[in-house]
Structure 1
Amino acid sequence: MTITEDAESAPRRAAPVKRGSLRKRAYDQLKQMILSGALSPGERLSEIRLSTALGVSRTPLREALMSLETEGLVIGKPNSGYIVVQLDIETVRELLVAREGLDGYAAELAARTATNADLDRLRGVMEQIEDLGRTRTRAPEHIARELELGLKVHEVIVAATGNRILCEMTTRIYEQLRTALWLEVLWIDLWDEAVAEHRAIVEAVIARDGPQASEAARRHVRGSIENISRIQNIQLHRRRAGGLLPLAGV
């Protein structure tokens, strides 16, 4: 047997898995476990147990947890690790009321101040939302894309106001609402309604109809306030059932 033949006949070693892919896998699985309720709000996360369950070492696991902390899904405690964030329904309602005022005013102001380039960006985001609606599934990556594009509409609108303080205030509100928005997208499957609501906002801003843009934006947030009450009821049913209820569309 030649050296070449020996090399070809020897068992091939599996290519090493890159740490970035392990981190991404751990991140995706942990996020799904949190948002599905497999990991309960307030639950302390054991790195040893999670690394075993997910089949990754503690380094990519910790990197995944750090990413989830930036999204507001877990909280890091000095000397005690991470816990799953708890959703305070009353605080979320208060934040949404503040968001209703900010989004409504931003849409009204943007209808007056947006440049043609701003309006083109807004059209582009709306086209992406429409495209997603034609191909969407309940896969985690599609759910993440729903939230990303839904937030992008409001980001473009508030940027079009040219008001730095309004942009900063809106960003802080959305950061604090991130967990609630994830749960709304995951548990309340009202994509068609969300598309129609975003379309109404975008069309009013493009038409430079300030009052209509404001009302459309406020109506959209009021829908989220109603959904938070539905999420609260889902949580109560889940606790009483002692297990997990099916997620919307699953």
Structure 2
Amino acid sequence: MKHQDVEVELRERVLRGDLAPGTRLREIQLAAELGTTRNAVRSALLALESKKLVERVPNVGAVVARLDADRLQEIYDVLELLEGLAARLAAQKSTPADWAQLQELFGEDGGLDEAAENGDLDVFLAAIDQYRDTAIALADHAFLSETLAGIHDQAHLIRRRILMTPGRMTESLTEHRMVIDALVRGDAEGAEQLKRHNMQTARKRLSRYRDFLV
């Protein structure tokens, strides 16, 4: 396995929750498991450390980074503003046709109601990611895109956990449908406020289920 592939594999395991926070990451064991060199594993762990997915613990070594509640609140403070801005800019710069795929995905026949009812987290997260990627692309703002990319992995981790709390997927689905409706109408202010509301309700979940989430 190539160096870049090792990083991608370990990153995906962390983001999926296959490697829980605090899990020790032993270079020799991972190299044998992945069929690569210890050097490749070390390079991958350093890259993931720079993304705040891995941390170094004295006398232990590399472990999957633990979630810190205060830092997560800070991340959501920033996400609320930036994702709200992305929605506003996207509404200003797009046409209704640009949202057709998301309208179908988040519509009644898109399968997300069933995913929410069945707790199909991966399907639901993929839809949220598709909304996010589309909004950022249509916002057409390089610095905003770069800034959000810098906290994408940390945001993904906590979004996954928040969506596991009771009723959150259904709540989030309703909120995203409202955001998409505003985007289709070209209602920039409405889209921004609705997206910020979506982030605010997620942050309330973060506070309410703090012990479970971190």
Q: Choose which of 21, 24, 34 in structure 2 pairs with 1:59.
A: 34
Q: TM-score, normalised by structure 1?
A: 0.63
User: Is residue 83 of structure 1 aligned with residue 58 of structure 2?
Assistant: no
**1:185 maps to 2:163:** yes
Once the two structures are overlaid, the 10-residue window that deviates more, 162-171 or 204-213, is 162-171
Q: Which residue of 1 aligns with 2:4?
A: none
Moved more, 127-136 or 171-180: 127-136
CA contact 1:104–1:215 (8 Å) conserved in 2? yes
Alignment of 1:48-127 (within 5 A): 58-59=33-34, 69=48, 74-75=53-54, 82-127=62-107
Q: Secondary structure at the match of 1:147?
A: helix
Q: Matched residues, percent identical?
A: 22
> Which digits, 9 at most, give the CA deviation of each residue in 1:149-207, with x for residues without a partner?
11221221121122222222222232332221121123454111111000000000101
- Which residue of 142, 145, 148 maps to 1:170? 148
- Say whether the 8 Å CA contact 1:111–1:210 is kept in structure 2: yes
CA 170–33 in structure 1, closer or farther in 2 if over 3 Å, else same: closer
Amino acid in the other structure paired with 1:156: T
Distance 1:122 1:46, change over 3 A: same
SS of the residue corresponding to residue 164 of structure 2 reads: helix
**Alignment partner, residue 146 of structure 1:** 124
Q: 1:93 to 1:113 in 2, by over 3 A?
A: same
1:65-119 per-position Cα deviation (integer Å, ceiling 9, x unaligned)? x69x59x795275xx7641211011111111111111111221222221134422
Secondary structure of the residue that 2:54 maps to in structure 1? strand
| Residue type at the aligned position of 2:121 | I
Contact 1:44 1:83 in 2 (8 A): yes
Unaligned stretches of 5+ residues in structure 1:
1-23, 52-56, 237-250
Q: Secondary structure at the match of 2:63?
A: strand
Q: What is the CA-CA distance between 1:216 and the residue it aligns to?
A: 0.5
The unaligned stretches of length 5 or more in structure 2 are 1-8
User: Could you say what the CA RMSD is over the residues aligned between the two structures, in angstroms?
Assistant: 3.8
Which is higher, the Rg of structure 1 or of structure 2?
1
Change beyond 3 A, Cα 1:169–1:43:
same
Q: 1:33 to 1:122 in 2, by over 3 A?
A: closer
